[in-house]
Amino acid sequence: MQVLKFGGTSVANSKNISLVKDIVGQLKKGKTVVVVSALGGVTDLLIESASLASKQLDAYASILKKIEDRHIKTIKELIPIKRQSRVLSRIKSELNTLETLLEGAFLIGEITPKLSDKIVSFGELLSSFIISEYFISDGMNAVYKDSRELIITNEVYGKAAVDFSKTDSNCRAFFKKVPESTIVLGGFIASSENGNATTLGRGGSDYSSAIIAAAVQATELQIWTDVSGMFTANPKLVKQARAIPHISYEEAMELSHFGAKVLYSPTIQPVLAKDINIVIKNTFEPEAEGTLITKTQNEKGKSVRGISHIENIALLSLEGPGMVGIPGISKRFFEVLSQAEISVVLITQASSEHSICVGISDADIEKAVAVVNAAFEYEIERGKIQPVISEKNLAIIALVGDNMKSHQGLSGKMFSTLGRNNVNIRVIAQGASERNISAVIDKSDVKKALNALHEEFFEENIKQLNLFVMGVGNVGSKFLKQVHQQKKYLKDNLKLNIRIIGMSNSRKMIFDESGIPLKYWEEQLNNGEKANREKFMSRVKELNYRNSIFVDNTASSEVSETYNTYLRNSISVVTCNKIACSSAFENYSELKQLARKYNAPFLFETNVGAGLPIIDTLKHLIVSGDKVLKIQAVLSGSLNFVFNNFNDQTTFHDVVKQAQEEGYTEPDPKIDLSGVDVMRKILILARESGNELEIEDIANNSFLPKESLATKNNTEFFASLKKNEAAFQKLYKTAAEANSKLKYVAQFENGKASVGLQQIPKGHDFYNLEGSDNIVLFYTERYPNQPMIIKGAGAGADVTASGIFADIIRIGNF
Ligand code: ADP
Ligand code: ASP
Ligand code: MG
C-alpha cells in the first residue's frame, strides 16, 4: 500500500485536481491511499469567517459565500452532469450545516476552540468528498472515507494529540477490508473519542498521511506539493535555493521544526518509527526528482544541508541574582509555559545560570509575560528575579545538517557571514546533537540573512553584488555598458554576479529586484518614478540586500552627503565624486571609520587620475609598511590638454574653449583652471598617505589673473581670458625660451602641499606628457631616488567608468 498526500495548492481548483487524478491514475497497481488538504486557502477563509462571526460582523457571510462558490464551481467543472446533482446536494447540505454553525457563533458573539475545530474541518470534509466523486466518475475504483472515523485524538482543539493505539487499529481494520483500490480521505481532521471534531494543527494534512502510512506499514509516503522537494532554503525568499535530493529523517525534522513549511514537523515521527521512506514531489512538475527522506542520507560530504527560518518570534528572558544555584527555577519556568500551552521553539541558558532565555511565537508573548510574572511573583517582589523581559518582531534562522558535528568552524562562518552583512544576532543556540545551529535575528533582516548564508554555504562559487547607481550621464552610462558587456565573463571567471537593482538620474529612478535588464535601462528609467534622493536611499535600506553597493557617478555635494547613511547600513560606497574625500578632514575620516566599523568598503579610486590605479597602489605601499616621502604629479587632464595645445600660434582663450567643447574640463572650466580640482586631488593623495590636511592648507600659486578668478560665470570668465591673452603668451614665451614646457604640477612633501604652473625642462618625467594624460611620482622609503611612476589617460568617461568598475570588483573580492 502506498500513501499519497496532496496539499492545498495541488487541489486548489478543478484544473489542479485533474493533475492530481493523472498522478494517481499513473501509479502502479496496488492499494493507494490519497490524503487531500482543503482547496488552497479555504482553511484560512474558514478561520476568517469564524472570527468575523464571533465578533458579530456580517462580513462573515460573504466569506462563507466565497467558500460555497468555490466548491460549487469545482464540482460543476469536474463532475459529469449525470452525477452532479448527487454531489451538489451532499455538498450543499454540508454547507448548510457550516452556515448554521457560523450563525451560532454570530448570535452568541463567541467562538470556542471546540466550535472552531468543527468549522475548520469543513475544508477537508468538502474537498475529500468532491475529489473522491471525481475519481469515481472518471472510472477509478475509488471510495471516500471520513478520516474522523479513523484518526482518534484527545480534545486539545486546534492541535490535538493522536491516540496511536486506537488510530492504528482503526486504520488496520478499515484498510484490510476496504475493497476499492483507491481510498480518498481528508487530511488534518480527526475526532475525539466522544465524537467531537478535532484538528491536527495547521499544515496537519502531512501528519494525517504519515499516521495512516505508519498504521498500514505503507511502502512509501509521497507528499505532493507546489515545489519540487525540500529546498536548501525557502524558495520564495532565496531564488538560488534548490531541491535537496536526499535527506535524513532528522534533518528533515529539524528543517521543518525551524520553519520549512513544506513538511509539517510532526509528520516524520510516525514514519521514522516504521522506517517508511518519504518522497516530496511537485504536482506541477511531476517529472522533477523531488526529495527523498530516509533514515540516513548518503551525501556524506555535505555539512550544511539546509537553512530554515521562522518568522514572528519573540524572546522571553528570566534573569536575576536569585536564580543562581536555586534548583527548580527552570523547571517552574517551563512548567508555567507549558500549562499555558505556549510552545517553546528555542532555549538558551547562560552558564552563569543568571538567565534563561526562550524563543516563542510572537502571538504568545503577552500571555507568556503574564503567566511567568505571576508564577515568580514572590521572587520578583523580593528582588531575587527581575520581571520577565520580552522582545518581539524577531526571527530564528537555523543551519541544519547531520554532518555538521564533524566539521569545524561552521558556526564561525555562520556568524561572520551575518556580521559582515550587518545582521545583528540577538541569541544563539546549538543543539547538543550538533545537527543545528540557530540564531535569533531581527525579522527585517531575514531575507538578507538567508541569502547571505545560502550564498556562503551553497553557492560558494558565485557571489552576488547588488548595485544601486546614482548618476547615469557620461560616466554612469559608460559604466552600465561595461557591466552589461562583462556580466557573463565575471560570472564565469570571477564568480561574481553583478546586478543593478536600482538606478537614478536627476529626474527619474527605477528599482527591479531581479536586476534591471541592462539592454533597456534607458527606456525603463524614462518610464520610472520621479527621482528623490531620500526615497532612493530608504528603498535601498528597505531592500536590505547583502553585498549592496551604492555607486555615485554624480558631482553633487548633496549626494556625497548621503554616504555616511549608506555606510552605517553596511552598504558599500563607490564614487568618482571628489567632494566627500576633499571635504573637511573630519568628514573624510568619519567615512573611512564607518566603512571599517560596518564592514562596507568606501572606495574612490577614480577621484584621482580616473581609471589609473593610483589610490589602490598607494594603499598597498602603506599597508605593506612603506612611507611616502614626496608626491609629484600632473593630475589635471584638462590643464594638461590646455598647456599641450597652447603656443604662440593659438590663443589661450581658444584652447580653453576647445577643451571645454571636447569635454576635457568640468562644465565650469574655472574649477580646472583655477587649480581647485588639482588641489582636491593632491589633498586626497596626501590624506591617503596618512596626513591630516585641509584644503586650505594647500598653497595654490594660480597662474590665472585675479580678474579671471573673480568672474561669476562662464561668459565673464572667457571674456577675461581674451582680455589677458598677453599675460598667457608671456608665460608661454618664458618657458619656451628656457627650453621648457608648462605643466600644472601638484606636489606634496614634508606635510605641505602645493599646486601651480611650472616650467618643466627637457628630460624631466613630466616633459613628454601627452594629451590629457596624468602622471604621479611616488617617492617613498622604498623608492627614494627613482620614484614609482603611474602614468596614463587621467580623464574621460570610459576610463573613469572602468575605474569605478575596478572598485566594484575589489569589493567583490573583499
Ligand atoms: P501544501 O499546501 O502542499 O502542504 P505548503 O504551502 O504547506 O504546501 O508547503 C509548501 C511551501 O513551503 C512552498 O511553497 C514554500 O513556499 C514553503 N517552504 C518553506 N521552506 C521551504 C523549503 N525549505 N523547501 C521547500 N519549500 C519550502
Ligand atoms: N488545510 C489545513 C491548513 O491549511 C491543513 C493542510 O493543508 O495541511 O492548515
Ligand atoms: Mg503543508
Based on the fold, state whether residues 630 and 772 are members of the same structural domain: yes
Q: Is 224 in the pocket of ligand 2 (CB under 6 A)?
A: no
Based on the fold, state whether residues 515 and 575 are members of the same structural domain: yes
CATH code assigned at 356:
3.30.2130.10
Selecting among 21, 281, 302, 681, the annotated active-site residue is 681
Is 360 strand, coil or helix?
strand
Question: 86 lies in a domain?
Answer: no
Q: 194, 225, 256: which is the final residue of a domain?
A: 225
Total domain count, the chain: 4
Torsion sign across C-alpha atoms 33, 39, 44, 48: negative
Cβ atoms of residues 214 and 266 within 8 Å: no
Based on the fold, state whether residues 634 and 727 are members of the same structural domain: yes
Helix (H) or strand (E) holding 448: helix 446-458
Based on the fold, state whether residues 637 and 587 are members of the same structural domain: no
The answer to whether residue 681 is catalytic is: yes
The list of the chain residues with pLDDT below 70 reads 298-301, 325-326, 350-353, 432, 460
Ligand 2, residues 43, 159, 208: which to mutate, most atoms within 8 A of Cβ? 43
Based on the fold, state whether residues 634 and 676 are members of the same structural domain: yes
Closest-approaching ligand to the CA atom of 187 = 2
| pLDDT per position as a tens digit, 629-652 | 999 999 998 899 899 999 999 999
Domain holding 475, by residue range, is 463-601
Q: 414, 441, 457: which is the final residue of a domain?
A: 457
Closest-approaching ligand to the CA atom of 225 = 1
Residue 124: its pLDDT value, please? Answer: 98
Q: Is 766 in the pocket of ligand 2 (CB under 6 A)?
A: no
Residue 662: its pLDDT value, please? Answer: 82
Query: Beta strands of 635-732 (E only): which ranges?
Result: 699-701
- CA 573 from chain center: how many Å? 19
Based on the fold, state whether residues 433 and 494 are members of the same structural domain: no
C-alpha cell of 101?
Answer: 454553525
Question: Which atom in ligand 2 lies closest to the alpha carbon of residue 123?
Answer: 1
Between the alpha carbon of residue 261 and those of residues 229, 252, 253, 296, 431, the distances in Å are 11, 11, 11, 22, 21
Q: Is 205 in the pocket of ligand 2 (CB under 6 A)?
A: yes
| DSSP percent split of the chain into helix, strand, coil, nearest 5 | 45, 20, 35
Residue 256: its pLDDT value, please? Answer: 94
Smallest CA separation from ligand 1 atom 10, residue: 262
CA 68 – CA 86 distance, rounded (Å): 16
- CA 634 from chain center: how many Å? 44
Residue 325: its pLDDT value, please? Answer: 66
Question: 655 lies in a domain?
Answer: yes
C-alpha cell of 606?
Answer: 577614480
Based on the fold, state whether residues 595 and 618 are members of the same structural domain: no
Residue 661: its pLDDT value, please? Answer: 87
CA 721 – CA 650 distance, rounded (Å): 13
Based on the fold, state whether residues 507 and 548 are members of the same structural domain: yes
Based on the fold, state whether residues 773 and 689 are members of the same structural domain: yes
CA 619 – CA 688 distance, rounded (Å): 7
The residue count of the chain comes to 814
Based on the fold, state whether residues 434 and 565 are members of the same structural domain: no
